[in-house]
Structures are given as structure tokens and as C-alpha cells.
Amino acid sequence: MHVIIAVAFLMATLIGALMLRTQMVQNSFEAAQIEANISRLTQDVEDDQAKLDQLVASLPDKASDMGMVPQQGSVSIDLNGYQSSKGGTQ
């Protein structure tokens, strides 16, 4: 009777270890795929940022080709003390 219990315990342990190893391999494979996707997406973002930087750098030349001239003085509006009229009339 003890031998049967020992063999059943060993078989259960073996099956449990096999299932655990299979799950670990599957998780490792998924992690590798996720890391590859992250690196691909990071490269895509870097490529898009480089294209954007190139377009921003070429913007002044394109504006001057269209006949635009830079503004000499800048105008800004400070709305820190702004209070809206409640009734719509002043």
C-alpha cells in the first residue's frame, strides 16, 4: 500500500513539475514577443520623432519660399486678471 501511495505521489509531482515547466516556457515566449513589440514600437516612435524634427527644421525655409516674413514684435495677452461678465453686459 505504501508503494502505491509513493508511486502516485511521484507521478503527481512529475506531472505538476511538467505543467509548471510548460507554463514557464509559455510565459517566457510571451515575454520575448512583448519585448520585441516594445522595441519595434520604440523604434517607430524614434523614426516619427526624427521625421517631425526634420519637418520642424524645414519650416522656416518653406515659409520664406512662400513669401512669409518673420514678425518683428510679438504680441501677447495676459488673462490672469480676467473676469467674465456674468450677465453678458458690461
Q: Higher confidence at residue 78 or residue 59?
A: 59
**In the predicted model, is pLDDT for residue 14 greater than 70?**
yes
Nearest to 6 by CA among 23, 62, 50, 14: 14
pTM for the model: 0.55
State the pLDDT at residue 85: 76
Q: Which amino acid type is present at position 81?
A: G
**In the predicted model, is pLDDT for residue 90 greater than 90?**
no
Scan for cell 461678465, then name that residue: 85
